[in-house]
Structure formats: structure tokens, C-alpha cells
Amino acid sequence: MKELKVGIAGLGRLGRVHAQNLAYQIPGVKLSAACTFVEEELTFAKKDLGVSEVYTDFDQMIASDLD
């Protein structure tokens, strides 16, 4: 089965919980992208979640290579 590449918009309090679930708890899903305008949240996505692509523009994230 192909791994599903997903992105998340917003990494505030609830967004972090959802992102952690996507990154670590759901088999067959890879959290590949995150979008937020808060620099600390972008750093969290890269360092703590291993997200390879981070964006400050939602449209750019949607146009990226996600499923």
C-alpha cells in the first residue's frame, strides 16, 4: 500500500495534537507538509515532527506534492 502524503494547516494547540497523531499514530500516513505563519510552529514541525516541507502560504502547500 502506498503511503499517503498529507499536510496540515495550523499548528496551534489543537493543530499540534492533530499533527502529532498524523506523524506518529496513523499507519500508512506521512505528515509531509505543514503551514503556519508562526516561526516557532514551523520549527516544531521540522524538528519535532520531521516534516520535510513547511510553508507560510496555504496555497503553496496545497500546490505541493501531497495526496
Q: Is the pTM of this model over 0.85?
A: yes
The answer to whether residues 33 and 66 touch, using CB atoms and an 8 Å cutoff, is: yes
Q: Within 13 Å and on the Cβ side, how many CA atoms surround 42?
A: 10
As for how many domains the chain has, the answer is 1
For 13-54, the pLDDT digits (tens) are 999 999 999 999 999 999 999 999 999 999 999 999 999 999
CA dist 40 and 64 (Å) reads 22
Whether 1 shows a pLDDT value over 90: the answer reads: no
Domain that holds residue 17: 4-63
Residue 65, C-alpha cell as written in the block? 506534492
Question: Residue 8: which CATH number?
Answer: 3.40.50.720
* CB atoms near residue 36 (< 10 Å): 22
Whether 2 shows a pLDDT value over 90: the answer reads: no
Strands (E), the chain: 4-9, 29-35, 53-55
